[in-house]
Amino acid sequence: MVEETAEYPAALARSTLPGAGAWQNHRILRRLIDSVAWVTWREVAIDDLNATATGPVLLVANHFGGVSDAIVLMSVLPRRPRVLADDQIWKVPVIRSVMNGIGAIPVHRGNRGSTDNTDMFASAQEALARGEMVLIFPEGITREEPSIGKVRSGAARIAVGAREAGVKGVRIVPAGIHYEDKAAFRSAVFVREGEPIDVDAEVAKAAGGLGGSPEVVDTGGTVGDGEERSVEEHGEERRSVERLTSLIEERLRASAPDYDDWREARALQTASEAFLRSLEPQRPVPVGLRDRLASWLAAREPQELTDCADRYFSALDHTGATDAWASQGRKLISLTRVLMAIIWVLLLPYAALGAVAWAVPALITWLVSKIRMAPAVMATVLPLVALILFGVTTGFWLRTGWSRNRFAGIVTVALVLPVGFAAFVVVVERGLLWLRWSQNRVMTIGGRGRRLGDLRSEMVSMVADEVLAGLDIEADRGTSRTTGGFT
């Protein structure tokens, strides 16, 4: 529990103040996180993170990507979170300094010696008392499966403990992290905020069933030396923790990817992408909208659609084609392609400059992403490799600018480097897309493209049927919650 000190009441008084943990107080950290995210992922999109802006917030998220999860969240959150992390990280001196610098809180695991997390609970609860945000991954371990594992009680115990210490208005906010491909360099990520949990209200509901005369028992020092608590109080705390843990798991499943297996995940994501592209063929499909629809479909368990989408995914994989090609790739010339080609040509001089500055770290990072290892491990390795390589490269060019023209040289380098990198990325990624488009044309000659299109049409029609059935069900219930909120 939070220790009562002379400073603690002041912390409680500050809990209602906005801006606790504001990024303007951590500018260097924010710029570092933004730089790593900008280099590592092509896009980091968000649904809505308004519930995390102010007040004491316990942010709970799925843990599919190791270190990447924390970096992705920190890059989009409106303020700095205090991250709970494995204490093993602190054993490396350099990393220990970094973790202490960003305000991370170590967690001791029972299978590796010490199980005393008194300091962890105290630090997390004190942070909430100051109106800060605490980030915890309640599954406890990084998962390779595309589903939410067993949620442990640590997050609920932190929230209940903070409330017992006098912190009011604590909210538990679920956040689902959706990776396009967590092991790939320059892929996309989507963060979706779930329905917040009002800790005060839920604790009150859990206490509603208790009654009778309390029996006083000694806690044996688990709460405080010499402190006595009643059986009723212990029962209330246990019921509150159980209720909150169940709610956290339920709402985290609703906001994060939660599929039976990778076959279902790939199939329904592919079906969702094709359906959404059929609605607006000229626009790229946002990974966030795709995953929201795929998660909604998974909850409906459409086995026939899953089987059809799996056949379509296998056909795409076999021919090397993409869904974008299957939907409109046979058209040789379009206005969009002409405009993109003009922009691509205009960017070539800037991309050449960017290649001089960034080709080496970008190539090495891409090669590292191709090493065979568990995707969750790669999701941890990749941003760290990008941080080191691009950090060293940036330092080299800044030093070169200083040696050439002092401050003017540094300013010139600081302006040119990001522009060159952006142009380099656009030219390379667009060039690779066109190369893939050309390969698609070759691989779908002789009727294969037509058969692929027919299979796609059948799959899109099945998705449309599921959506219409969902709309009918919601209409029968007299609610306006359109298909689980994916639209």
CB under 8 Å to 199, separation ≥6 — which residues? 58, 159, 160, 162, 163, 170, 171, 172, 244
Enumerate residues 6+ apart whose C-beta is below 8 A from 55.
15, 16, 18, 131, 169, 171
- Tens of pLDDT, residue by residue over 187-210, are 999 999 999 999 999 999 888 754
Is residue 365 within 8 A of residue 392, CB to CB? The reply is no
Structure tokens given for 476: 């029968």
Residue 357: name the closest of 278, 424, 300 by CA.
424
Amino acid 19: pLDDT: 56
Average pLDDT over residues 23-50: 90
Distances (CA, A) of 36 to 31, 44, 358: 9, 12, 14
Quick check: 12 pLDDT over 80? no
The whole-number average pLDDT for the span 417-442 is 85
Instruction: Extract the tokens encoding 386.
Output: 């990008």
What is the pLDDT, as a whole number, of residue 446? 55
Task: Give the span between the Cα atoms of 73 and 80, in whole angstroms.
Answer: 10
Q: Which of 39-53, 288-302, 383-397, 471-485 has the highest mean pLDDT?
A: 383-397
- In percent, the amount of the chain with pLDDT more than 90 equals 57
Question: Among candidates 476, 336, 353, 343, which has minimal Cα distance to 416?
Answer: 353
Region of 19 (left: φ > 0; alpha: ψ -120 to 50; beta: rest) is left
Q: Give the domain ranges of the chain.
A: 8-210+231-255, 262-329+447-485, 335-443
pLDDT of residue 4 exceeding 50, the answer is no
The structure tokens listed for 151 are 């949620």
Lowest mean pLDDT among 245-254, 270-279, 281-290: 281-290
Mean pLDDT of 289-308: 92
**Does the pTM of the predicted model rise above 0.85?**
no
Mean pLDDT over 13-41 rounds to 78
Q: Which pLDDT value is given to residue 333? A: 63
Residues in the chain: 487
Quick one: 111 exposed, middle or buried, by C-beta within 10 A (0-12, 13-18, 19+)? exposed
**Range name among 174-183, 276-285, 298-307, 387-396 with the lowest pLDDT average:** 276-285
Phi and psi torsions of 82, nearest 5°: -90, 110
Question: Does residue 9 or residue 238 have the better pLDDT?
Answer: 238
DSSP structure string for 286-353: PHHHHHHHHHHHHHH--HHHHHHHHHHHHHHHHHT--HHHHHHTT----HHHHHHHHHHHHHHHHHHH
Give the mean model confidence (pLDDT) for residues 347-363: 95
Amino acid at 473: I
Nearest residue to 312 (alpha-carbon basis) of 326, 298, 292, 296: 326
Looking at the predicted structure, is the pLDDT value of residue 62 above 90?
A: yes
Tell me how far apart the alpha carbons of residues 405 and 407 are, in angstroms, rounded to a whole number: 6
pLDDT value at 484 more than 70: no
User: pLDDT tens digits for 213-234?
Assistant: 334 333 333 333 334 444 455 6
Residue 479 has pLDDT above 80, yes or no: no
Per-residue pLDDT at 7: 37
| Model confidence at 476: pLDDT above 70 | no
Confidence at residue 443, expressed as pLDDT on a 0 to 100 scale: 59
Q: At what angle do helices 231-255 and 199-207 cross, to 10 degrees?
A: 130
User: What is the pLDDT averaged over residues 292-299?
Assistant: 92
Mean pLDDT confidence for 339-351: 92
Least confident range from 53-57, 323-327, 373-377, 411-415: namely: 323-327
| pLDDT at position 298 | 93
Residue 193 DSSP SS3: strand
State the CB neighbour count (10 A cutoff) for residue 446: 8
Of 151, 154, 87, 121, the C-alpha closest to 222 is 121
**What pairing do the DSSP bridges indicate for beta strands 133-136 and 197-198?**
unpaired
Looking at the domain 8-210+231-255, which fold is it? Glycerol-3-phosphate (1)-acyltransferase (3.40.1130)
Distance CA 79, CA 84 (A): 16
DSSP state for residue 484 in the 8-state scheme: G
User: Is the pLDDT higher at 10 or at 155?
Assistant: 155
Please tell me the least confidently modeled range out of 32-46, 269-283, 470-484. 470-484
Tokens of 143: 């998962």
Pairing of strands 133-136, 228-230: unpaired
* Structure-block tokens of residue 317: 């994989």
Q: Is the pLDDT of residue 329 over 60?
A: no
pLDDT in tens, 69-128: 999 999 999 999 999 988 888 887 778 888 888 889 988 765 555 567 788 899 999 999
Residue 155 near residue 62, CB atoms below 8 Å: no
Question: Are the C-beta atoms of residues 211 and 182 closer than 8 Å to each other?
Answer: no
Q: Answer positive or negative: Cα dihedral of 407, 362, 99, 182.
A: positive
Rounded Cα–Cα distance for residues 21 and 24 (Å): 8
How many Cα atoms within 13 Å fall on the side-chain side of residue 130?
17
pLDDT attached to residue 288 = 86
Arithmetic mean of pLDDT, 331-349 = 82
**Whether pLDDT at 426 is above 50:** yes
The pLDDT, as a whole number, for residue 403 is 94
